[in-house]
Structure 1
Amino acid sequence: MQNSFFRAIENKTGVSMDELFTLANAISNADFTNEHQVRKIVRKVGRLANKPVSKELEDQLTNSILQKGSSISLTDIEKML
């Protein structure tokens, strides 16, 4: 059951489960008041979502996330992109 579920997600998103788990782990352990960590996560989500993130967009997203602090989630970041 789990293998078919994970394969379905990989097929639909084009992102391996290893990459998703790595990102989820990074987000769950991130300090969203640390600008360097936030920028790193924004770039990673952009790459995984196959969405270009310009320097200007990265700045906007980073500032928005830093203002929200620890109340941010992966879904919030995806919506911003």
Structure 2
Amino acid sequence: MQNPFFKQIESKTGVDMEEIFALANAIQYADFTNEKQVRKIVKKVSRIANKPVTKELEDQIVNSILQEGQSLDLGKIQKMLG
């Protein structure tokens, strides 16, 4: 990513913008009723945010998302990781 704006974000956050775009794309097309897809996204968010998630917390987040079924509330995930 050569855009200076994105380079500035990368330097401040330490997060590669390509990873952010890949995550956004995965979220946009994910089936939030599919447990495997939801688990993959939760793990990716955890890795990008540099917030380790225990198996129990992962299960809690995944079950919460599966119950809602059609959308992903990143705010909720952020609070759970918090």
TM range (shorter): 0.7 to 0.9
TM-score normalised by the chain length of structure 1: 0.87
- The number of residues matched between the two structures is 80
Paired with 1:28 and 1:73, the residues of 2 have a C-alpha distance of 12
Residue identity (%): 70
Match of 2:3 in 1: 3
Unaligned runs of 5+ in 2: none
Tell me the CA shift for residue 69 of structure 1: 1.5
Match of 2:57 in 1: 57
Q: Which runs of 4+ in 1 moved over 3 A?
A: 73-76
Paired with 2:62 and 2:51, the residues of 1 have a C-alpha distance of 16
TM-score normalised by the chain length of structure 2: 0.86
Paired with 1:29 and 1:64, the residues of 2 have a C-alpha distance of 19
**8 A contact 1:45–1:78 mirrored in 2:** no
Tell me the CA shift for residue 7 of structure 1: 1.2
Match of 2:70 in 1: 70
Paired with 2:11 and 2:73, the residues of 1 have a C-alpha distance of 23
Tell me the CA shift for residue 75 of structure 1: 4.0
